Each structure stands twice: as C-alpha cells, then as structure tokens.
C-alpha cells in the first residue's frame, strides 16, 4: 500500500496499516515529515512529490493494491489519485479533499474521497482494506463513535475483557437472541452475538481488522 502525505492523518494511517500486517510505503516532499512516524515503522519512506511518476514508482506503486492521497493540497491529492488509478491501475484509491464541492465531483469520476476531518482515518481504513464495520453513531465533535464489528468465529468462547485488551476499544453492548445485553468483563462472546463497540475515531478500522481474524494466543 502507498500513502502520499506524512502529516497527522498520513502518519497515523501508515502506522495503523503497518500494525495489522500491511507493507506500506509513505511519500512526502519534506523529509522531516517522516519524524512523525514511530521508530518502529519499517515501511518505505520516499521523498518527493506524490504526483510525480518516478516518485510513485520508487514507492512501489506498480505492485501496490491500494493508494491513499492525504497531503494538505487538494490538487496534489486528486492528481496523484488519478495517476494511481488511471496510469498504474491501482484498484483501491482514496483521495482526501478539503473542498466538499470538489469532492462530490471526483466521487462522480469514480475516485472515493474523504472531505471531513473527524472521521478521515476510519474512512481510509475502510476503503483500503474493505472492512465490514458499520458506524451507527458518532458524537457531535466526531471524536467518539459506536460501531458494529464482525467478529471471527474463533473469538467465540473468549471474554469481553480479552477482546477489549486485544483491540483497545470498549464493548458497548451485545445483541444476543435479539435482545440487548450490557456485558461485564467476564461475559463470554457466543456464536450469534452482534458486537457493538465504543471507540475513538481513527481506531475503529484497526479494531475491525483485529476481531475479523482469529485471536492471537499468548
């Protein structure tokens, strides 16, 4: 996967994708921007303009299955997104656009866009790795959300506490046999449960990826 822009969103997105096992290359025209990345980040760092073909190729765009343009400039984002989609055939491309009217235009061109900052990271994660989480509620500031997560069958028999520890989110409630249940930490997740979690925006995508796979046994 290739991320263009190592600002607050780009660095957080690259880190989250890396944590769940994706190979990530990140592009920024300012080498000092890479200081936002943790020392543990082992992806590729490429200095240059994200709409430059040679820069994209150094980042591995020809092998990438997804591309996110999250720089601070609308024009740079949409040009690089179109290059990734139209010239390199990248299947999943998302562009961050600050101008909502322009975003609507590019959506009609077939390029998914993100135009509102509070849920930027969640939307990019959803578009890039095709998660199945469904956000049901978000507070007015956009900081906290409640979402439904699809849980892998190997989580059945594990407790709510184990799931919360693995994901860093809180289980808000369960639907069991059609009825709502406020779980305790010792509540065991059962086959057929629908799990709803409360989480900070930007963390739901990573949690969805964790519970969508078998738990890692310590």
Using the 3D structure, point to which of 100, 129, 158 is the last residue of a domain.
129
Residue 126: per-residue pLDDT = 61
Q: How far apart are CA 68 and CA 123, in angstroms?
A: 11
Over the stretch 65-109, which tens digit does the pLDDT of each residue have?
999 999 988 889 989 999 999 999 998 998 888 776 676 677 677
Q: Are 50 and 26 in contact (CB under 8 A)?
A: no
Same domain, 80 and 153: no
Same domain, 163 and 196: yes
Q: What is the tally of structural domains in the chain?
A: 2
Same domain, 77 and 179: no
Backbone phi, then psi, for 82, in 5-degree steps? -65, -35
Same domain, 69 and 138: no
CATH number at residue 205: 3.30.70.1450
Backbone phi, then psi, for 98, in 5-degree steps? -80, -35
Same domain, 7 and 85: yes
Two tokens, residue 25: 């290359």
Tell me the DSSP string of 99-148.
Answer: -HHHHHHHHHTT--EE--GGGHHHHHHHHHHT---EEEEE-TTSSEEEEE
Let me know if residue 218 belongs to a domain.
Answer: no
Question: Residue 174: in which H helix or E strand, if any?
Answer: strand 170-176
Tell me the DSSP string of 56-82.
Answer: HHHTTTTT-SEEEE-SS-HHHHHHHHH
Same domain, 185 and 89: no
Domain of residue 46: give its range.
2-129
Two tokens, residue 168: 């860093």
pLDDT of 46 above 50: yes
Let me know if residue 216 belongs to a domain.
Answer: no
Residue 132: per-residue pLDDT = 46
Same domain, 53 and 101: yes
Q: How far is CA 88 from the centre of its chain?
A: 22
pTM assigned to the model: 0.58
């Amino acid at each position: 996967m290739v991320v263009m822009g190592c600002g607050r969103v780009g660095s957080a997105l690259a880190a989250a994708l890396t944590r769940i096992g994706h190979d990530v290359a990140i592009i920024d025209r300012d080498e000092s921007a890479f200081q936002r990345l943790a020392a543990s980040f082992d992806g590729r760092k490429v200095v240059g303009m994200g709409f430059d073909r040679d820069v994209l190729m150094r980042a591995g765009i020809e092998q990438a299955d997804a591309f996110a343009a999250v720089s601070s400039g609308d024009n740079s984002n949409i040009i690089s997104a179109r290059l990734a989609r139209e010239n390199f055939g990248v299947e999943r491309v998302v562009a961050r656009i600050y101008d909502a009217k322009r975003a609507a235009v590019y959506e009609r061109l077939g390029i998914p866009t993100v135009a509102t900052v509070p849920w930027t990271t969640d939307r990019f994660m959803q578009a890039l790795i095709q998660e199945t989480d469904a956000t049901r509620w978000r507070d007015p500031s956009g900081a906290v959300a409640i979402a439904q997560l699809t849980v892998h069958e190997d989580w059945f028999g594990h407790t709510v506490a184990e799931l919360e520890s693995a994901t860093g989110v809180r289980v808000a409630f369960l639907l069991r046999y059609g009825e709502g249940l406020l779980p305790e930490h010792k509540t065991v997740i059962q086959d057929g449960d629908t799990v709803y979690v409360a989480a900070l925006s930007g963390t739901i995508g990573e949690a969805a990826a964790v519970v969508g796979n078998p738990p890692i046994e310590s």
